[in-house]
Structure 1
Amino acid sequence: MKKAVLLINLGTPDSPTPSKVGKYLTQFLNDKRVIDINPVGRFILVNLIIVPFRSFKSSKLYKAIWTKEGSPLLLNSFLLKDKLQQKLGNDYVVELAMRYQSPNIKTALEKIREQRPEQIHILPLYPQYASSSTGSTLEEVLRQIRKWEVIPNIKSVSKFYDHPKFISSLVSEAKKHKIVDYDHVLFSYHGLPERQILKGSAHYGGNTCQMGACCNTITKNNQYCYRANCFETTRQLVKALNIPEDKYTTAFQSRLDNKWLQPFSDKVIEELAKNGAKKILVFSPAFVADCLETIYEIGTEYEEIFKHHGGEKIMLVNSLNANDEWVDAVKSILLD
């Protein structure tokens, strides 16, 4: 009897055209966990304001990172899936889905169901837990599976930021760079609205969040706090790489307004340049596959900001994508 694995990443437009990008943004931003406001307000904001005005701008950005083969995120995710299938062998069936757009979760689960597996392992490919990513993905998986007549054993992974093999995979990627040659190291994570962190704290930890020192250690109250997960990821990487305390910063990118998690990555980069930094090494440990946020936002936009204020070079540490050590790590995360 086979076991099944479903890998799930966030998603990507089917093509970089404005219509396809608009379709992706419509599905993504209408998710109640992503924009967690009044449903009527969300509908107006997303469908009448954001998507009509943002589709063309975002389309240009996607075109800048698109390859002849397609979306970098999708290509690397499929390569990861194929390598993991080889690693796990014939006792497993491995499928890939995207939370938004294709291949969609429903189709991937149907392929798995046809194999009549004894057990299904669900792995959202987000190292740090967040309601808007992991929570939304697992909710959609359960929404699809609850319709089945037979529901097999199901195992899911909600976070793996502190798994030793995940950390060691990032460390190996970092060691391709000579860290002492850089003036500063920036750990840049995708941002979230502060209200989502506070809601998670109220639900799971009893309103203990202070948006400050409470994230200095992982406790039973903040073990599912995205902010705490990010800072712990940084601590483990800094320890493994022997980076001095005054030589690194944890920050958050991709904000929509000033009520998102701080410090903001673009502002940190600006300040570093103004203070004389010439070379910065940037990690993006919230992303396991290179995408718009790593290739373009960090690799292009942030470098422009850095150079504009006197800096010389931003070097991005590649995401794990489908390198062999990461494939081994995924296997361990699933089977541990």
Structure 2
Amino acid sequence: MPSSASQGRTGVLLVNLGTPDSPRTPDVRRYLNEFLTDARVIDMPAAIRYPLFRGLVVPLRAPKSAKIYQQLWTDRGSPLLYHGLDLQKLVQEELGQDYLVAFGMRYQNPSIESALEQLRDAAVDRIIVLPLFPQYAAASTGSVQEKVMEIVSKWWIVPTISFISTFVEDPAFIGTFATLGKAEMAKHAYDHVVFSYHGIPERHVLKGSHKSYCKLGSCCASYNKNNRYCYRAQCFETSRQLGKALGLKPDQYTTTFQSRLQSRLRDPWLQPYTDEVIKEFPAKGIHNVLAFSPAFVADCLETTIEVGEEFKEMFEEAGGKHWQLVPSLNSHPQWVRGVADMIRRN
């Protein structure tokens, strides 16, 4: 029987969202221009999207975002980048020589195109693409899939390509977050747990609804074939899985959504909104909160700054006493093994 080496290696492409090359305003502007003109992120006609965001929104937002990125930046650069590179290295070691693991960003560098070129140059037999977003959304996982297909469609020879579109129920994803959460719970007594997910417009969920199944309500009380690609339903399922792993009763945790873009059109985003919910906690007797951000597998601006600092300040100003963010999975050994297992299963 031929060896796996003679058959060629399996290529693995890990992809995360993206980050500016530096916290300087020009680099942040370049990143935002690419991100906010993606038709899957801002689903407006191009004739409106480009002039609105490149001409108005991004120039106003870039200097403010640059100041926030300066708070986040480390000696190793952007956390989202170095955590991704660490994960790539450790998953490569875990999988061994029959695999070649590459890492790319949907926006900016290292690009998906450069990562795919690395795999093509190595003449891999097939490619497994793992967007590092636990819950599928057209604006994240869907955008990565579209970009990968756009790039490989120009290749003369296209190897077998498969995508891991969601890992909401993956044992290592749930288990590693539970391990990190229990470590924090051992240090302090908490009244309540918040699972805060990145928000998306409600229309994104409704556009992808299977046979108009979605009602943005009780339909997310169970996770089934009709809503398995509904972002909202996946978030609630992640919360249920994490709650169970942490030994929590349903009334001991709350699922919320963060990072909504303000719109003059008052376009509704997924609710309840994290910032509004946590302001009400102290009046309800909830003074010690443990917060998770399970839409992210690596710490970044939305976890470290938004959940870890901004929400903490809001909570304390409302009368809360203790707010603690659980670190993301980053390159935790349990998560590294889990990613390698996902690749092997696929």
Question: Where on the TM-score scale, by shorter chain, does this alignment land: which range?
Answer: over 0.9
What's 2:93 paired with? 86
Q: Secondary structure at the match of 1:10?
A: strand
- Asked if residue 280 in structure 1 is aligned to residue 289 in structure 2, the reply is yes
Pairwise CA distance, 1:275: 2.5
- Asked if residue 267 in structure 1 is aligned to residue 242 in structure 2, the reply is no
Extract structure 1 runs of 4+ deviating beyond 3 A: none
Give the gaps of 5 or more residues in structure 2. Answer: 1-7
Q: How many Å separate the matches in 2 of 1:163 and 1:326?
A: 10
- Asked if residue 66 in structure 1 is aligned to residue 73 in structure 2, the reply is yes
Q: Is the Cα contact below 8 Å between 1:276 and 1:310 reproduced in 2?
A: no
What's 2:111 paired with? 104
Query: Which amino acid in the other structure matches residue 79 of structure 1?
Result: D
TM-score normalised to structure 2 length: 0.94
Q: Secondary structure at the match of 1:176?
A: helix
Q: How many Å separate the matches in 2 of 1:145 and 1:190?
A: 29
Q: Secondary structure at the match of 1:185?
A: strand
What do residues 279-312 of structure 1 show as CA deviations (whole Å, max 9, x unaligned)? 1100111000000000000111101101111112
Q: Is the Cα contact below 8 Å between 1:284 and 1:294 reproduced in 2?
A: yes
TM-score normalised to structure 1 length: 0.97
What do residues 137-193 of structure 1 show as CA deviations (whole Å, max 9, x unaligned)? 010001101111111111210000111221111111111122771111000000000
Query: Which amino acid in the other structure matches residue 201 of structure 2?
Result: P
Q: How many Å separate the matches in 1 of 2:317 and 2:131?
A: 37
Q: Secondary structure at the match of 2:227?
A: coil
Q: Is the Cα contact below 8 Å between 1:270 and 1:306 reproduced in 2?
A: yes
Pairwise CA distance, 1:276: 3.1
Q: How many Å separate the matches in 2 of 1:267 and 1:183?
A: 18
One of 48, 52, 56 as aligned partner of 1:41: 48
Q: How many Å separate the matches in 2 of 1:274 and 1:57?
A: 32
One of 206, 223, 238 as aligned partner of 1:198: 206
Q: Is the Cα contact below 8 Å between 1:280 and 1:314 reproduced in 2?
A: yes
Q: Secondary structure at the match of 2:212?
A: coil
Q: How many Å separate the matches in 2 of 1:275 and 1:48?
A: 44
What do residues 238-288 of structure 1 show as CA deviations (whole Å, max 9, x unaligned)? 111111222110000001135000000011110112333221100111000
One of 321, 325, 335 as aligned partner of 2:330: 321
What's 2:214 paired with? 209
Pairwise CA distance, 1:228: 0.4
Q: CA RMSD in A?
A: 1.1
Q: Secondary structure at the match of 2:161?
A: strand
| Aligned-pair identity (%) | 49
Q: How many Å separate the matches in 2 of 1:173 and 1:106?
A: 34
What's 1:304 paired with? 313
Query: Which amino acid in the other structure matches residue 335 of structure 2?
Result: W
| Greater CA drift, 133-142 or 217-226 | 217-226
What do residues 105-158 of structure 1 show as CA deviations (whole Å, max 9, x unaligned)? 111111110100111110000000000000000100011011111111112100
Q: Secondary structure at the match of 2:41?
A: coil
Query: Which amino acid in the other structure matches residue 100 of structure 2?
Result: V
Pairwise CA distance, 1:211: 0.4
- Asked if residue 127 in structure 1 is aligned to residue 137 in structure 2, the reply is no
Pairwise CA distance, 1:334: 1.4
What's 1:151 paired with? 158
Q: How many Å separate the matches in 2 of 1:122 and 1:132?
A: 16
Query: Which amino acid in the other structure matches residue 285 of structure 2?
Result: G
Q: Is the Cα contact below 8 Å between 1:24 and 1:101 reproduced in 2?
A: yes
Query: Which amino acid in the other structure matches residue 78 of structure 1?
Result: L
Pairwise CA distance, 1:44: 2.4
Q: Secondary structure at the match of 2:194?
A: strand
Give the gaps of 5 or more residues in structure 1. Answer: none
What's 1:168 paired with? 175
